[in-house]
């Protein structure tokens, strides 16, 4: 058993599970704030009931988002101790600030919101909902500052220390506003808003189909569809486009894998569909738009886009060997040789550099990247269509009676999570083998004294515990759906679902 592979699987599992609740928490935080705002502006009872109802949904997502995130922080020290030693002085402060300020703000005001919305004036609930959204957004900000720096490091120097080479900041603000941070943050937060909007719209659609809580349901569907339509367009442009342009400039191997581009091309096409043949290093049955990739990546229809091999050469020779951020040649030699040895390459081998290029080239699963990227983009395009169609039906006064469209909203509710997971897997798997681009690979960052058996045992334990937690979460979601929002005065459809006996029959 390989401890590196098992540690990667464990972190992928915990991160992917955590991401079920993060976008829902952030997105629902935004939607709850909008609902409380509508309640304050209109002073209509259905908006107030909708705001209270979806505040409970926010609480359910928040409760499971917290512990699953904490587990990941422990894994940095347990499974990836060498990585933590190398970049701990840079990666640590954003995590500390996230806990001290963002999480404290969010957790305080979500308590005020959930336990005070029946006891305190509505204006207090509005303020609480505002600070919950701000807190969750700031929490995402600090985490993504750390993540984006790992993807595109800036404002640092690699020095020799008693613990070995370490990266240290030279300018905190330049590191915070690294080239990827703004586009990655806006793209990620906006994807969470899409998830929140979809939840609100789909739950409202469910009640309309069941002819329950109709007044609250109409409010939920209307605001959810409008937010979905706007945010799904923003997800494509400008946030998605800008993040793609940064990746094209700083992470050429990731771009090549996303597009299945094995050979360097000028005026490279954007492939809509294809079948990746990794053995023969080609994409078969490819259907593409001529020159579009070059234009999207570099703003030039005839720009050169590096194929996977040339991109790997560029990363190794330009971003690693010619990295200007080494304190001296001794540190550079130590870091480079450490990377080579960790990947089974003798630094004294005359072909050591060529072999490292092969490592970089072969570390990225091109087929996985190619398909995952198209799942993300395809679902994003679908959200634009659904949101646009929903707004059209709303303007025509047909939204609430279009049962086929309401069913589409309900049946496609899981898709925002699939899109988000596909996006994150593309983002993270695409930087392999780097944990920190150009400095730390998974082989050099893994803990030296953790056995594969230990990782396997904890991995099995996580699967068991997370399965139980997911079941508990589903139980509370079903309970919320069954109970529904508080009745609006004068709405005859505002009644809970009939109780179901243990034998499955209605009582």
pLDDT digits (tens, 9 = 90+) for 241-265: 999 999 999 999 999 999 999 999 9
Average pLDDT over residues 412-423: 97
What is the average pLDDT value for the chain, to the nearest integer?
94
Closest residue by Cα to residue 273 from 262, 261, 284:
284
pLDDT score for 400: 97
Gyration radius of the chain over CA positions? 25
In this prediction, residue 394 carries a pLDDT of 98
Please state, in angstroms and rounded to a whole number, the distance separating the CA atoms of residues 334 and 322: 14
pLDDT of the residue at 341: 97
pLDDT higher than threshold 80 for residue 215: yes
- Domain borders along the chain are 3-161+168-251+365-429+431-483, 256-362
Beta carbons within 8 Å of 453's beta carbon, 6+ residues apart: 1
Query: What is 275-321 written as a DSSP string?
Result: EEETTTTEEEEEEEETTHHHHHHHS-TT-EE--HHHHHHHIIIIIII
306-315 residue pLDDT tens: 999 999 999 9
Question: H or E element: which one contains 39?
Answer: helix 3-42
pLDDT band at 501 (very low <50, low <70, confident <90, very high): very low
**373: pLDDT strictly greater than 80:** yes
pLDDT tier for residue 38 given thresholds of 50, 70 and 90: very high
DSSP single-letter state for residue 326:
B
Reported confidence tier of residue 372, pLDDT bands at 50, 70, 90: very high
Q: How would you class 192 by CB atoms within 10 Å of its CB: exposed for 0-12, middle for 13-18, buried for 19 or more?
A: buried
Q: Packing angle between helix 3-42 and helix 415-429, nearest 10 degrees?
A: 140
Question: Which pLDDT score is estimated for 478?
Answer: 94
Q: pLDDT tier at 156 (50, 70, 90 boundaries)?
A: very high
pLDDT digits (tens, 9 = 90+) for 393-403: 999 999 999 99
- The pLDDT value recorded for residue 506 is 37
Give the pLDDT score at 65: 85
CB 405 within 8 A of CB 387: no
Backbone φ and ψ of 289, nearest 5° = -105, 115
Q: What pLDDT does 278 receive?
A: 95
**Encoding tokens for residue 266?**
């000028």
pLDDT band at 489 (very low <50, low <70, confident <90, very high): confident
Residue 149 to residue 151: CA distance in whole angstroms: 5
Summarised one tens digit per residue, pLDDT across range 61-104 is 998 888 788 888 889 889 999 999 999 889 888 888 888 888 88
For residue 460, the model assigns a pLDDT of: 95
Q: Lowest mean pLDDT: which of 59-68, 108-117, 233-242, 258-267?
A: 59-68
Task: Kindly report whether the peptide bond that precedes residue 246 is cis, defined as omega within 30 degrees of 0.
Answer: no
Mean pLDDT of 36-60: 96
Residue 495 CB neighbours (<10 A): 11
Q: Please tell me which residue, 494 or 282, carries the higher pLDDT value.
A: 282
pLDDT at 260: 96
The lowest-confidence range among 96-100, 271-275, 334-338 is 96-100
Structure tokens belonging to residue 449:
């004294």
Taking the model in full, what pTM does it have?
0.94
Q: Which pLDDT value is given to residue 497?
A: 53
Res. 502: pLDDT tops 70: no
User: How far apart (Å, rounded) are the C-alpha atoms in residues 8 and 1?
Assistant: 13
What are the b/e assignments for 209-222, b being 16+ CB within 10 Å?
Answer: eeebbbbbbbbbbb
Question: How many residues does this entry show for the chain?
Answer: 507
pLDDT of residue 496: 59
pLDDT of residue 503: 35
Q: State yes or no: pLDDT of 17 exceeds 80.
A: yes
Dist CA 159 CA 331 (whole Å): 7
Report the Cα–Cα distance between both ends of the chain, in Å, rounded: 54
pLDDT exceeds 90 at position 302? yes
pLDDT of the residue at 1: 76
Q: Residue 188 contacts by C-beta under 8 Å, 6 or more apart in sequence? A: 140, 144
């Amino acid at each position: 058993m390989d401890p590196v592979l098992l540690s990667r699987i464990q972190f992928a599992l915990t991160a992917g599970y955590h991401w079920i609740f993060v976008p829902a928490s952030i997105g629902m935080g935004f939607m709850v704030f909008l609902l409380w705002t509508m309640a304050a502006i209109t002073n209509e009872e259905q908006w107030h009931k909708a705001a209270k109802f979806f505040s409970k949904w926010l609480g359910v997502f928040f409760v499971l988002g917290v512990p699953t995130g904490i587990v990941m922080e422990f894994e940095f020290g347990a499974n990836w101790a060498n990585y933590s030693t190398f970049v701990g002085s840079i990666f640590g402060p954003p995590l500390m600030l996230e806990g001290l300020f963002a999480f404290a703000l969010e957790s305080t005001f979500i308590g005020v919101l959930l336990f005070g919305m029946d006891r305190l004036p509505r204006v207090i609930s509005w303020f609480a909902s505002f600070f919950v959204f701000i807190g969750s957004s700031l929490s995402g900000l600090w985490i993504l500052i750390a993540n984006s720096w790992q993807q595109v490091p800036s404002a640092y120097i690699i020095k020799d220390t008693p613990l070995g080479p370490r990266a240290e900041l030279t300018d905190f603000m330049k590191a915070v506003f690294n080239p990827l941070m703004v586009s990655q943050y806006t793209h990620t937060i906006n994807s969470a808003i899409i998830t929140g909007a979809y939840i609100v719209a789909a739950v409202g659609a469910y009640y309309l189909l069941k002819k329950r809580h109709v007044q609250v349901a109409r409010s939920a569907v209307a605001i959810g569809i409008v937010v979905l339509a706007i945010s799904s367009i923003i997800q494509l442009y400008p946030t998605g486009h800008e993040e793609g342009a940064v990746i094209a400039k700083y992470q050429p191997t990731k771009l090549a894998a996303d597009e299945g581009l094995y050979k360097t091309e000028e005026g490279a096409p954007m492939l809509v569909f294809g079948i990746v043949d990794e053995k023969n290093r080609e994409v078969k049955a490819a259907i593409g738009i001529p020159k579009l990739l070059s234009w999207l990546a570099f703003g030039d229809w005839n720009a050169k886009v590096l194929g996977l091999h040339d991109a790997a050469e560029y990363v190794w020779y330009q971003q690693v060997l010619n990295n200007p951020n080494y304190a001296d040649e001794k540190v550079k030699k130590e870091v480079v040789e450490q990377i080579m040895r960790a990947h089974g390459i003798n630094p004294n081998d005359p072909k050591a550099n060529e072999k490292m290029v092969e490592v970089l080239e072969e570390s990225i699963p091109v087929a996985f990247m190619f398909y995952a990227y198209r799942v993300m983009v395809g679902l994003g395009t679908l959200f634009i269509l659904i949101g646009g169609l929903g707004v059209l039906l709303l303007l025509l006064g047909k939204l609430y009676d279009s049962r086929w469209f309401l069913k589409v909203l309900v049946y496609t509710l899981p898709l925002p999570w699939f899109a988000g997971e596909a996006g994150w897997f593309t983002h993270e798997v695409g930087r392999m083998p780097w944990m920190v681009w150009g400095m730390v690979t998974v082989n050099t960052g893994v803990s030296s004294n953790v056995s594969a058996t230990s990782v396997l045992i904890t991995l099995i334990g996580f699967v068991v515990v997370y399965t139980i937690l997911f079941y508990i979460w589903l139980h509370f979601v079903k309970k919320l759906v069954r109970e529904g929002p508080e009745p609006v005065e004068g709405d005859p459809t505002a009644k809970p679902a009939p109780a179901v006996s243990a034998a499955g029959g209605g009582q």
